[in-house]
Amino acid sequence: MFKPKIIVIGSINMDLVTTSTSFPMQGETIKGIDFKTIPGGKGANQAVAAARLGADVRLIGCVGSDDFGKELKSHLLKENIQVEHVNVVQKYPTGIASITVSNHDNSIIVVPGANDCLTPEIINEKEEFIAECDLLLLQLEIPLSTVMKAAEIAKKHGVKILLNPAPVQLIPQALLEMADYLTPNEHERTYFNDDKSIQDKLIVTYGSKGVRFNENGNEKQIGAHKVKVVDTTGAGDTFNGALAVSLSKGDTLEQACLFGNAAAALSVMKFGAQSGMPFKEDVEKFLKTSAPG
Ligand code: RIB
């Protein structure tokens, strides 16, 4: 069976997750209910989603030489992700995300740490490694210059580029042009201009309202599945990982969005970004019994 080769160039974080009954107001101290450390980072999350959903995944990123870095690297290996190009840096600690989960919603502060050490020079040395792949999956939790360099190399070698523009920021026009697919959520969508060339690449996620995209000049929408939400952290990452797998297998955009939408629905039913991510068989089974709303 064909296993697409997906390369993820992105962030690796340890998520420090506090659950509480409400979000603290500015200047307020509140009592939490629970605290957990869970592997995260948009890059690593999307890599795990794609690997669980049947791709051959390689990840390029940076962690610190601390305990979090060691734990995350061995965790990624257990998820069947090639990590020989995950660099261990001495200068900065492993990236972390301080996450508060309350009432099925979350707020996140990311401290990039070692993720900021992933330079364009490092990516330049991986040209052959990138060129071998079917699809490059990018997010914006590493330096923008590094994202640009990765996209340039992928474009040169005809590797498809899926850019998840999160956390959102102003993106150079050249990067938008190089990307084959852009996957903002409804808030990030407002950062994009109305150029026709960009509109056609947009696949916009609307949380509990599903996903919208253009295919062959027609605007299409797929509603979300009705599921019991436990934690939405990493739902977007699951969608992106699944979309990447499906597209690089040659599925149509609509098939890929249906697959991603179902994978994301399953992910929100469990706690944690990666801990809730489904495997290929789970999504296939779910799609036989649940239709999008
Ligand atoms: O998209 C969710 C992720 O964003 C978390 O895992 C956290 O690490 C932040 O990068």
pLDDT in tens, 237-272: 999 999 999 999 999 999 999 999 999 999 999 999
- Helix, strand, coil percentages (3-state) for the chain, rounded to 5, are 35, 25, 40
Q: How far apart are CA 30 and CA 18, in angstroms?
A: 11
- How far apart are the CA of 15 and the centre of ligand 1, in A? 7
Minimum-distance ligand 1 atom for the alpha carbon of 39: 6
- How far apart are the CA of 267 and the centre of ligand 1, in A? 14
| 107 bridge partner residues | 100
Q: What is the pLDDT of residue 1?
A: 81
Q: How far apart are CA 134 and CA 165, in angstroms?
A: 20
The reply to whether ligand 1 has any atom less than 6 angstroms from the CB of 152 is no
Q: How far apart are CA 15 and CA 149, in angstroms?
A: 27
Q: What is the pLDDT of residue 105?
A: 87
Confidence label for 191 from pLDDT (cuts 50, 70 and 90): confident
pLDDT at 140 over 80: yes
Among 100, 170, 101, 160, smallest CA distance to 131 is for 160
Q: Name the catalytic one among 56, 134, 237, 251.
A: 237
Contact 150, 115 (CB under 8 A): no
What is the mean pLDDT of the segment spanning 138-167?
98
Q: What is the pLDDT of residue 213?
A: 96
The question of whether 237 is a catalytic residue gets the answer yes
Residue listed under structure tokens 């979309």: 243
Q: How far apart are CA 63 and CA 75, in angstroms?
A: 13
Among 191, 126, 122, smallest CA distance to 157 is for 126
Q: What is the pLDDT of residue 195?
A: 79
Residue among 237, 239, 271 to mutate when testing ligand 1 (max atoms within 8 A of CB): 237
The reply to whether ligand 1 has any atom less than 6 angstroms from the CB of 233 is yes
Q: What is the pLDDT of residue 134?
A: 98
List pLDDT tens digits, range 98-111.
999 998 889 999 99
What is the mean pLDDT of the segment spanning 2-12?
97
Q: What is the pLDDT of residue 193?
A: 76
Whole-angstrom Cα Rg for the chain: 18
- Average model confidence (pLDDT) across the chain: 96
Q: What is the pLDDT of residue 100?
A: 96
Other CB atoms closer than 10 Å to residue 164's CB: what's the count? 29
pTM of this prediction? 0.97
Starting at the edge strand found earlier in the chain, the sheet holding 203-205 runs 203-205, 211-215, 218-222
Share of the chain above pLDDT 70, in %: 100
pLDDT at 139 over 90: yes
